[in-house]
Structure formats: C-alpha cells, structure tokens
Amino acid sequence: MFKIKEQKRVIKVYYPPYQHVAKNEQINYKKVAGDPRYPKLYEVGDDYIVLDYIEGKTFFQCLQEGIPILPEHVKQVDDALLFARNRGLNPSDIHLHNLIITKRGDVCIIDIARFSQSKPCEQWNDLKSGYYRYYHKAYFPSKLPKWLMDVVAALYRTRKGTSNHT
C-alpha cells in the first residue's frame, strides 16, 4: 500500500499471484460503501484499488504506545462487522493491524479482502475476549513491547492453525 502524494488516498497494489485478491477486495469495499468505519473506494483496476488514507493509530500501535483502547472502540468494531455481515459479508482476518483509531476517535477497519471467504473466523471474538478479560486489569501494562505482541500472535497462529496476524 502506498500513499498518493498530496492526496488523502492510498493505492493498494496486488502483485502476482495475488491479483485475484484485488477483485475480492473491490467487491467487499463496494458492499460496505457509505459506512464511515470503512475507507471509501475511489478507483479499481485489475491489480489495484485506490482508497481513503486513514490517519490514526492501529490497535497494535495503541498497545505499543500506551494509547487507550476504549470500550466504545470495541463497540464500533462490533457495529462495523455487523454492518458488513448485513451486507452479505463474512468478516475475517480482523487483527490489531487492521483496526485504526482515527484522530477523531472513531474506528476504521482496513484490509477487508478476506471478508468474502466462507470459513468462519473467530479472531475478533478472541481479541475482544482478551480485551475484556485482561486489558482493564491493574496488572496489565500501559504499553506492550512489539516483540511480546509478535510472540503472542505467533502462539495464537500456532494454536489456531492460521496464518493471520493478531
């Protein structure tokens, strides 16, 4: 993904052999069009899409930098995923790098290519469970080092048998 100079847009290029993913993601973005919790789709091609550039911090960056992730952010993700489901999509590959808290404090979900797969994905439910179970505890650190989050993600992938990020 590359930011387009002097515009608040990005171009996401799909290199061979992943050009077919471009078509899936185009269709998915068209299905969620109009919902501010997803980037706006501006242009499509056989191997690229052009989207809004979303300024903000990913959930991963928030954990790393000590920026609070609030219960309202979690609810916004839930609402956005419900919106996608109501449009016939199956949200998948929801991880800390795909969830952005904008400068206004709203959540935006990016990278929705896998929202059209049929296989169930429990990744968001697992993240949410961890959030409610641990995040607000007194012993939970205000900042998490990248290496620790990477280890947790690797252990999760091993346990779940998936190649997704956490």
Instruction: Give the amino acid at 34.
Output: G
Kindly tell me the burial class for residue 137, based on how many C-beta atoms sit within 10 Å of its own C-beta (0-12, 13-18, 19 or more): exposed
CB 71 within 8 A of CB 105: no
- Catalytic, 35? Answer no
- Point out the catalytic residue in the list 35, 46, 52, 93: 93
Residues contacting residue 93 through CB under 8 Å, at least 6 positions apart: 111, 113, 114, 115, 121, 123, 164, 165
Q: What is the DSSP letter of 101?
A: E
Catalytic residue set: 93
